[in-house]
Amino acid sequence: MGTGVCFEYEDNDGPSTILKQMNVFRQDSSFCDVVLSTDDGMDFKAHRVVLASVSEYFRAMFLSEMRESQLDRITIKEVDSKSLGQLIDFAYTSKTNINSANVEMILSAASMLQFIKVENVCYEFLRKNINVPNSLAIWNLADLHGSTELSILAEGFIRGNFTSVFKHSDFVTLSHKQLIRLLGHDKLNITSESAVFEAVMTWVRHDLETRETYLAELLEQVRFPLLTRKFLIDTAAKENLIMNDPLCRNYVLEAIDYHLIPERRDKNKTPRTIPREKSSRAVYVVGGEEQGTVLNTVECFDFNDKRWSFVAPMIIARKQVGSAVLDGQLYAVGGVNNDYADLVTVECYSPCTGQWTSVASLNKCKGSLAVVILEGWLYAAGGSHNGSALKTVERYDPIQNEWTQVASMRLPRSHFGLTALQGRLYAVGGYCGISEIEHVECYDPMANKWADVNGLNKARMSHSVVTYGERIYVIGGSNSVGVLDSIEKYNPDLNLWLIIRNTMEPRSGAAVAAVYGGDEAVQDLYIIGGQDYHKRTINSVKKLNLKFADYSTATAPPLIFSRAFAGVASV
């Protein structure tokens, strides 16, 4: 043969073949040069070179001057035999099985013996399988083993599902420092500040003798001024543990003062008066009309499941109904029934019990009204009665369960929008009894007066109005020209309405919910149902994205029923 000829060969199966053969040698006890023993009496024969190739712990041990490097038998303390056996199997096979029953023990062993790949697999398993019952254990496990990434994920999950997590039996095992870290966070996802109060008292009472000393420090994280007056008076002020401690008592008195003397609020601002960032978990769509039939059904969109489902129906079918969430309770106010009669009744849905109950009725029947929450009050404005547009305004006190009339609007209006911004109410557009209007007015609850602000660019009725990011958005609706696709945005600092470019199709009588995404800060408006350009009731749902200049829309899961003129609220 000639010179200079080179043939290069690579056995791609070689590494795995060698590893398989080493495993056969292990099983036959051939060429093994070390025995690993556990505290529970099990022995495992192995090859030092194989262990050192996958474990930094064994590599350092066998290459160092440590006493163990010279021993034929090494006792591995604080690792159970089952976990050690599984790690040794991984060293020879590159395979392992992680499940909810063994992940904690395997992670502990892998972390101690520095089987980095197995450790990472355990972390990945925990990340993918975190849920309410195991989230607290995962958080503790991550902190124990120094996994910052998993710790951040678990803590975020707990904050996002706090109302469910704090009711779990493991909640009382948290340290007081962990609890302070959770409760002090602006993005703690709660329907009401009362959940934070209840969490503190539950944790302290679990071991009162030891934990009472932390009470004041923990209650400092409760934003007492954000509690309702009813809760402050009926619950917090009657708690002896709190009222017998001067510092704790001051938190309650500070909050009562905040509620009773509103004019002092600007001077009394503290970290406890700052609302937590909102994060929506569900949107409720209440009643409405489907092809001429008034509905009592209620649909709920769960952001975890990404689907619509029915919850308990209302006591009375209603369309053109006002809906809002106050203290975690969903209210359905007034509206129009199947006989096209204006309604005076009000009902309230508890997501906890899944039931509707009747509460105090309005002072006057109101169909096609608008409602909104401001400063712990539920306001119901305008609407219609016997065909006439109204300008009266009432507000509901959940403590007294009664409606009280406040200053009337300057113009009567029905089929309009009502929203709150910077401590004031804004009544936007609507039908005045003669035609659609562009008129907008603003209510100052301190002065109990309404005042005009700049009007819309387009007169409209049956539109949707929502506050988002210190701006007011007006979406769709109809006027004498037809169903509208335009969106207007109001800047209160400039007292100016702008028509913004968008990709929305014409829609009237839609329900619109502002959806907050907690840590992700998703900025979407969900535009739900309504009527299309041909006045057909639709079930489609669009997401209007507010983060980008084009205000693009995307399709979301549709309603189960098509419906228009429904109430809507997010919790």
Average pLDDT of span 72-82: 90
Q: Is the dihedral of CA 336, 337, 341, 345 positive or negative?
A: negative
Of 118-127, 175-184, 432-441, 540-549, give the lowest mean pLDDT range.
540-549
Among residues 155, 227, 177, the alpha carbon closest in space to that of 198 is found at 227
Taking the whole predicted model, whether its pTM rises above 0.75 is answered as no
8 Å CB contact between 44 and 36: yes
Half-sphere exposure of 289 (CA within 13 A, CB side): 23
Angstrom CA distances, 153 to 164, 218, 287, 338, stand at 17, 23, 38, 49
Phi, then psi, of 514 in degrees rounded to 5? -80, 125
Give the strand pairing for 449-453 and 464-468: unpaired
At residue 495, the pLDDT reads: 96
**Sequence-separated (6 or more) residues with CB below 8 Å from residue 194:** 227, 228, 231, 235, 327
Angstrom CA distances, 114 to 22, 100, 146, stand at 21, 21, 13
At residue 350, the pLDDT reads: 82
CA distance 242 to 183: 18
Among residues 202, 230, 225, the alpha carbon closest in space to that of 215 is found at 202
Angstrom CA distances, 81 to 44, 74, 89, 182, 535, stand at 9, 13, 12, 37, 71
pLDDT, tens only, 286-324: 999 998 899 999 999 987 778 899 999 999 999 999 999
Phi, then psi, of 124 in degrees rounded to 5? -65, -40
* C-beta neighbour count of 388 within 10 angstroms: 11
In this model, does residue 522 exceed pLDDT 50? Answer: no
Q: Which residue type, as a one-letter code, is found at position 122?
A: C
In order of their start, the domains of the chain are 13-129 (3.30.710.10), 185-264 (1.25.40.420), 282-570 (2.120.10.80)
Give the strand pairing for 282-286 and 478-479: unpaired
pLDDT, tens only, 252-266: 998 888 888 776 666
Portion of the chain with pLDDT greater than 70, in percent: 94
8 Å CB contact between 188 and 162: yes
